[in-house]
Structure 1
Amino acid sequence: MLSIFDKGPAAPCPSPFNLAAHVLAHADRLADKVALSILGLSGAERWSYAKLAAAVRGTGTGLLEAGFKPGDILLMRLGNNVEFPIAYLGAIAVGLVPVPTSSQLTEREVAKMVDGLGPAGILLGDGIACPQVDIPVIGTEALTAMRDLPPADYHMGDPNRLAYIVYTSGTSGNPRAVMHAHRAIWARKMMHDGWYGLGESDRLMHAGAFNWTYTLGTGLMDPWSVGATALIPAEGVEAQALPLLMKRHEATIFAAAPGVYRKILSHHEKLSLPHLRHGLTAGEKVSDTIRDAWRDAGGGELYEAFGMSECSTFISGSPSTPAKSGALGQPQVGRRVAVVGPDGPVPIGEEGVIAIHREDPGLMLGYFGAEDEARARMQDEWFLTGDHGTMDEDGQITYMARADDMMNAGGYRVSPIEVESALADIPGIREIGVTDCEVKADARLIIAFYTGPEKLDEAMLKGIASERLARYKQPRAFVHLDDMPRNPNGKLVRKSLRAIWAEQREMS
Structure 2
Amino acid sequence: MNLADRLHTVAGRLGGRAVLTLDEAELTYGVLDELSARLAGLLRCRGIVAGDRVAIMLPNVPEFGVVYYGVLRIGAVVVPLDPLLKRREIAAYLGDCGARLLIAWHAFAETAEAGSAGTKADCFFVVPEEFRRLLRGVPAEHDIAVMDADDTAVIHYTSGTTGRPKGVELTHANLAGNAATVAHMHALGVDDVVLGALPLYHTFGQTCSLNATVHAGARLTLLRRFEPGRALEVIRRDGVTVFQGVPTMYIALLDHPGASDMSMLRVCTSGGAALPLDVLRAYESRFGCQIIEGYGLSETSPVAATNRGGHGRRPGSIGWPIRGVEMKVVDEEGREAPHGEIGEIVIRGPNVMKGYWNNPAATAEAIRDGWFHTGDLGRVDEDGFFFLVDRRRDVIIRGGYTVYPREVEEVLYEHPAVRQAAVLGVPHPELGEEIEAVVAVREPVSGEELRDFARERVAAYKYPRHISFVDELPVSHTGKILKRALTASRVSYIESNRLTN
Please report the TM-score for the alignment, with normalisation by the length of structure 1: 0.89
1:206 positional shift: 2.6
| Partner Cα distance (1:363, 1:210) in 2 | 20
| Partner Cα distance (2:42, 2:275) in 1 | 42
**Residue 255 of structure 1 corresponds to which residue in structure 2?**
244
Q: Does 1:31 align with 2:15?
A: yes
Larger RCO: 1 or 2 (CA < 8 Å, sep 6+): 1
**Residue 355 of structure 1 corresponds to which residue in structure 2?**
346
Residues 397-450 of structure 1, C-alpha deviations (whole Å, 9 max, x = no match): 011111111111222222211211122121111100001112336632111110
| Partner Cα distance (2:470, 2:66) in 1 | 48
Q: How does 1:24-103 map to 2 (within 5 A)?
A: 24-39=8-23, 44-103=24-83
1:489 positional shift: 6.5
Q: How does 1:63-462 map to 2 (within 5 A)?
A: 63-128=43-108, 129-130=111-112, 131=115, 132-133=117-118, 135-141=121-127, 143-148=131-136, 149-152=138-141, 153-188=143-178, 189-194=180-185, 196-233=186-223, 235=224, 238-268=227-257, 270-311=259-300, 312-319=302-309, 322-341=312-331, 342-357=333-348, 360-440=349-429, 443-453=432-442, 455-462=444-451
1:487 positional shift: 5.5
| Partner Cα distance (1:411, 1:23) in 2 | 28
CA contact (8 A) 1:436 1:444 kept: yes
CA contact (8 A) 1:354 1:389 kept: yes
1:479 positional shift: 1.1
The structure with the largest helix share of the pair is 2
Gaps of 5+ in 2: none
| Partner Cα distance (2:154, 2:133) in 1 | 23
Closer/same/farther in 2, CA of residues 58 and 434 from structure 1, 3 Å limit:
same
**Residue 474 of structure 2 corresponds to which residue in structure 1?**
485
Counterpart residue type for residue 192 of structure 1: A
122-131 vs 471-480, which deviates more?
A: 122-131
Identity across matched positions, percent:
26
Closer/same/farther in 2, CA of residues 67 and 356 from structure 1, 3 Å limit:
same
Q: Secondary structure at the match of 2:427?
A: strand
| Partner Cα distance (1:377, 1:237) in 2 | 33
Closer/same/farther in 2, CA of residues 335 and 237 from structure 1, 3 Å limit:
closer
| Partner Cα distance (2:481, 2:94) in 1 | 32
| Partner Cα distance (1:247, 1:118) in 2 | 44
Please report the TM-score for the alignment, with normalisation by the length of structure 2: 0.90
C-alpha RMSD of matched pairs (Å): 2.4
1:145 positional shift: 4.0
Closer/same/farther in 2, CA of residues 18 and 321 from structure 1, 3 Å limit:
farther
| Partner Cα distance (1:405, 1:314) in 2 | 21
| Partner Cα distance (1:421, 1:151) in 2 | 45
Counterpart residue type for residue 328 of structure 1: I
1:276 positional shift: 0.8
CA contact (8 A) 1:207 1:256 kept: yes
| Partner Cα distance (2:217, 2:18) in 1 | 9
**Residue 8 of structure 1 corresponds to which residue in structure 2?**
none
Q: Secondary structure at the match of 1:375?
A: helix
CA contact (8 A) 1:437 1:446 kept: yes
Gaps of 5+ in 1: 1-16
| Partner Cα distance (1:180, 1:52) in 2 | 23
1:135 positional shift: 4.1
1:192 positional shift: 2.8
| Partner Cα distance (1:293, 1:454) in 2 | 48
Structure 1 runs of 4+ with >3 Å offset: 141-147, 209-213, 439-443, 485-491, 495-508
| Partner Cα distance (1:276, 1:379) in 2 | 41
CA contact (8 A) 1:305 1:329 kept: yes
